[in-house]
Amino acid sequence: MAHGTSIQYEPVAEIGGGAYGTVYKARDTESGQFVALKSVRVQTDQNGLPISTVREVALLRRLEQFDHPNVVRLMDVCATQRSDQETKVTLVFEHVDQDLKTYLERAPAPGLSPDRIKDLMKQLLCGLAFLHSNRVMHRDLKPENILVTSQGQVKLADFGLARIYSCHMALTPVVVTLWYRPPEVLLQSSYATPVDIWSTGCIFAEMFRRKPLFCGESEMDQLGKIFEVIGLPPEEEWPTDVTLSRKNFPPLTARPIKDFVPEINEQGAQLLLKMLTFDPLKRISSLNALEHPYFCDEETSTQTKS
Amino acid sequence: MAMVKTEPECRWERRLTTSESIIMGFHEDSGMCSAGTCMADGCVEEPVLLYPHGLKGLHSLQALVPSLLRHEVEIALEKLGLTLDRMYAWEMFLDMMKSQTRNSFPNADLPRNFTDATRAILVDWIIQVHEMMHFQEETLYLAIHLLNYSLRQIKVTTANLQLLGMVCLFLAAKKEESHLPEVSELCYLMDHTYTKHQLLRMERKVLYGLKFDLSYCPPLHFLLLFASIARCSAMVVWMARYLLELSLLEGQCVVFLPAQLAGAALCLARQVLQEPPTAEGEAAWCLASSIHAGSETTLLRVMHILASAAAKAHTQETCATFSKFSSPETLHVSRHPGLKNAPGLLGVCT
């Protein structure tokens, strides 16, 4: 088994030392295509491969069968026995050499056009709706793991990896960005698929601003920056299962979102606010977001004429 | 890499709508063949309903069927606990219909050294271990699927066949169960014929051989779904579950899709039990039948296999399923007298 990966996939370059370990760009010697190799070392105990690894990798394989256009292709899974206690699992993904971060950086001066942003958002939400309808949450959505092909197609990457890597992650002291984290995660409350919608909202704003919306340096700082924009939520919305008290924050009121994202149109601003809703239960779902008037073409044409 | 630019979300939406051709009589359909049903038959057949005379000539009803069926499917999936959110239930059903097409095999051929009889003995043993472990039924169906899949993907000697069977059950449990047995316990159940080390090595071999592909749409889910929509009696459902489990022992059943096996088991159960029809029951059956499970020829073929399996089940050495379904909890279905001449009900077998 050990030779399987190294013969078929020839490493070309190291393309990132993400939170989950090194990622390599490699060439598939059988097809000539470039691929991205993500490896993780899994501890195997006396009951074999951990259930979490078995389930998560199987889930990625299952999602792959649907061939969704806005989700990065998982082309292969390889596993290498390192020792009795350790197995290396390598996930082979299609390689897309541009992420949304570089895409935004490369966009010429006034930034992306409103139509381009709308198209990117639609594709992003489409991919997310697919994941959510399969009960998968991304949990770490950010411009770096949203890939944009040279044809402008959006592909979500690194979803569902959080749990595969979780045992490994505890051992890796890496800084994970807080900027796209929703309040419920920052407050260490329970969370579900709405986390991804919050991150999508942050990214939506960033597409207009070409810089992140909330750049906190710690959990507290991040929450403070969020409340400066959306206001301090009312007492009854504050989660009950958290240690951090609402009293730690100044009683700020919400400011108009257009102060922070001036280029956004009226419908866009409405949608953005629905995504940046404090209470995860009141936050818009990916399916409903796709049906928002912002994506309705007639609305845009009247907007641009006025 | 240089692909033609397609509008991604449109492509996706299109895929979903074509899946709606699973509703019979709604699309004048030829695309169904690509979904695998015709492939399994090796020829193109005219698609017919589970209940062949169900909707003929009822054009106004036919127009109602899609929304009615959708509603029923959503309720049934929610009732069965197969979906957490009704909002996604219909999409989930379409996914089930689509993904099951990957769950059958092009032929029933086994690697050299293995016969259908050997396979049946192994399956029977897995059924016993599964029962002893009090695992869920889904785990059994997944285990046998993994066995069928591994037999075709990896090389295993006859001596290791039992080990392979156990590993398939163990992996299925890792996927489905909340409580796992210890590996040492599994070795004990095999009279320590194999060491723990051998078992774990086989686990890796299977996982790598299958590339971690453990997804499976169990025929049981289709059975429960169809039965729920059709408002079948508890007796019919138990009988159908029995017949469906018998299909696991039949090597030739691997060429059929899960929905075909489920549809055939339910049809046969109804024919065997011959419960007096009610107007409401017939209407519900009619609606359930509008789901295209398979062509009439295919369903009849499966029904013949199941009928003859059920007729001889009590005389077989491999009778774990027969005993399981003879209990009072299962309404003694396996001992039902109607099963003895079940093949006769279906006319001459071809």
Q: Where are the domains of chain A?
A: 2-94, 100-297
Strands annotated E in A83-214: 86-94, 146-148, 154-156
Chain A residues in contact with B102 (beta carbon < 8 A)? 65
- Report d(CA A45, CA A86) in Å as an integer: 8
What is the average pLDDT across B172-185? 93
Whole-complex ipTM? 0.74
Mean of pLDDT values over A177-201:
90
Helix (H, G, I), strand (E, B) or coil at B51: coil
> For an interface test with B, which of A47, A84, A123, A125 has the most B Cβ atoms less than 10 Å from its Cβ?
A47
Residue A139 pLDDT class (50, 70, 90 cuts)? confident
The answer, for A82 touching chain B at a CB cutoff of 8 Å, is no
Q: Within a 10 A sphere around the Cβ of B256, how many other Cβ atoms?
A: 29
Q: Do A69 and B6 touch (CB under 8 A)?
A: yes
Distance from CA of A153 to the nearest CA of B (A): 7
CB A208 within 8 A of CB A111: yes
Handedness of CA B214, A190, A202, B7 (dihedral sign): positive
List of chain A residues whose C-beta atoms are within 8 Å of the C-beta of residue B95: 66, 134
Of A86 and A233, the structure prediction assigns the larger pLDDT to A233
Q: Which residue of B has its CA nearest to A70?
A: B8
Which residues lie across from A48 on neighbouring strands? A45
Residue B151 and residue B146: Cα distance in Å, rounded? Answer: 8
Among the listed residues B27, B19, B38, the one whose alpha carbon sits nearest the alpha carbon of residue B106: B38
What CATH class is the domain A100-297?
mainly alpha
A69·B203 Cβ contact <8 A: no
- Report the C-alpha gap between B161 and B55 in whole angstroms: 48
Class of domain B116-209: mainly alpha
Per the CB < 8 Å rule, is B207 touching A123?
Answer: no
The whole-angstrom distance between B92's CA and the closest CA on chain A is: 8
pLDDT digits (tens, 9 = 90+) for B9-60: 333 333 333 334 455 433 333 333 333 333 333 333 333 344 444 444 444 5
Distance from CA of B348 to the nearest CA of A (A): 40
User: Thinking of the domain B55-102+218-350, which architecture would CATH place it in?
Assistant: Orthogonal Bundle (1.10)
H helix or E strand, kind and range, residue A88: strand A86-94
Which CATH architecture does the domain made up of A2-94 adopt?
A: 2-Layer Sandwich (3.30)
> CA-to-CA distance for A248 and A271, rounded, in angstroms?
29
Is A140 known to be catalytic? yes
Q: A54 touching B, CB under 8 A?
A: yes
Q: What are phi and psi of A16, to 5 degrees?
A: 165, 145
Contact state of B175 with A135 under an 8 Å Cβ cutoff: no
CATH 1.10.472.10 placement within chain B: 55-102+218-350, 116-209
- B214 contacts A54? CB cut-off 8 A: yes
Q: Facing residues of A147 across strands? A: A99, A155
Beta strands A23-28 and A9-16: pairing type?
Answer: antiparallel
pLDDT of residue B167: 98
pLDDT tens-digit series, residues B128-166: 999 999 999 999 999 999 999 999 999 999 999 999 999
Q: pLDDT, tens digit, for every residue of B269-284?
A: 999 999 998 999 999 9
